[in-house]
A = this chain, B = another copy of it.
Amino acid sequence: MSELLGVAVLGAGHMGADHVRRLDRVVSGARVAAVADPDAERAKAAVAGMDGVATHTEAEAALDAPGVEAVLIASPGEAHEEALLAAFARGLPVLCEKPMVPGSAGALRVVEAEARLGRRLAQIGFMRRYDAEYRQLKSLLDGGRLGRPLMLHCTHRNVASPPGFTSAMLVESSVSHEIDAARWLLGQELTAVTVLRPRPSAGAPEGLLDPQFVLFETEGGALVDVEVFVNCGFGYEVRCEAVCEAGSARIGDAHTMVVTEAGGSREEVPQDYLVRFADAYDREVQAWVDATRRGRVTGASAWDGYAASAVAEAGVRALETGVRTAVDLAGRPALYDPS
């Protein structure tokens, strides 16, 4: 395969610019063919130093630019539905950052549109599926050595939440990663959710319910609990322990170098998801480029994007009402049947 896949990148913010750099300098087999951002300066800044990459202020103009064979959507969530439908209309393979579409209604429209096409074009950017530790765990669970999974204990901590972060966002944004990871690891849909609210940390902004403790039930009778704590102050920690019938397995405590100095032995804790999941982003985009060049679609589907939205929506209701809330999921189109 010697020709490079021409990719249009929609959105040139923090994440979009990072993907532009990745496609240009990290990933093999692709090139940036066009970049779109409503802010023309931002688009230009993202391609500085790269030869011959046209920038646009309209997403559709980028999709129609010469040499565009695939689309990477990294614009704000509200723009995703329109961008996905535009890509579908052109038959372009898409890698769409999460959330696929904010709100399950819009997400379902995307699912239905792709189902009408009759073939998958979209991959959703749940990058944990490409993290080496999560893949080890998935492979162990799928291998069956530990028997049926009974519980997943998850921890999701951030040093501090960004300005404007709301109590609902702990569930719909932070925990959405655990929602997808749990569905993927277990191969089961989540059927109900309960949110417990300990007294908030003094380190959390006034009014923010932080931490929260979120409990999911699955169709197979497993239990998934998630501590989400977005102003923990000490590090970016993502852990998962799978408790199975014949053993347990934990990820997220990986360490590399141990330094011993006066008073103690120390392992560094990453402070940021871009550090913790840098490799996962690289592998995700490489896998998407490789599959696309072979005419395939792999990874999380639009259905996974929809399910994550629907579960998160139930989670926000559970947070607001304080009671166990069932997840109401539409019927899954045959296109998304597990192969």
Contacts and interface: CB of A to CB of B under 8 A. Distances in A.
Counting chain A residues whose Cβ lies within 8 A of the other chain, the interface size class is: 35 or more
Interface in A269-323: 269, 271, 286, 290
B258 A268 contact: no
A245 B28 contact: no
Given A147-B202, A153-B227, A257-B249, A266 B268 contact: no
Interface string A236-276: 01000001011111110111111111111111110100000
Contacts of A217: 196
Given A1-B51, A246-B261, A254-B254, 16 more contacts: A1-B49, A2-B50, A4-B4, A25-B29, A25-B290, A140-B257, A147-B201, A150-B211, A202-B245, A203-B246, A227-B243, A234-B248, A234-B260, A234-B261, A235-B262, A246-B262
A26 interface: yes
Nearest to A262: B234
Contact of A256 (B136, B153, B259): B136
B250 A257 contact: yes
Interface of A: 1-2, 4, 24-29, 31, 49-52, 132-133, 136-137, 140, 145-148, 150-151, 153, 196, 198-199, 201-203, 211, 213, 215, 217, 220-223, 225, 227, 229, 232-235, 237, 243, 245-251, 253-269, 271, 286, 290
Given A28-B25, A265-B255, A266-B266, A260 B246 contact: no
B267 A259 contact: no
Contacts of A213: 151, 215, 223, 225
Contacts of A250: 257-258
A60 B145 CA distance: 53
Q: How many copies make up the complex?
A: 4
Nearest to A149: B198
A198 B221 contact: yes
Contacts of A258: 249-250, 253
Given A140-B257, A199-B150, A213-B151, A247 B234 contact: yes
B235 A260 contact: yes
A2 B234 contact: no
B260 A237 contact: yes
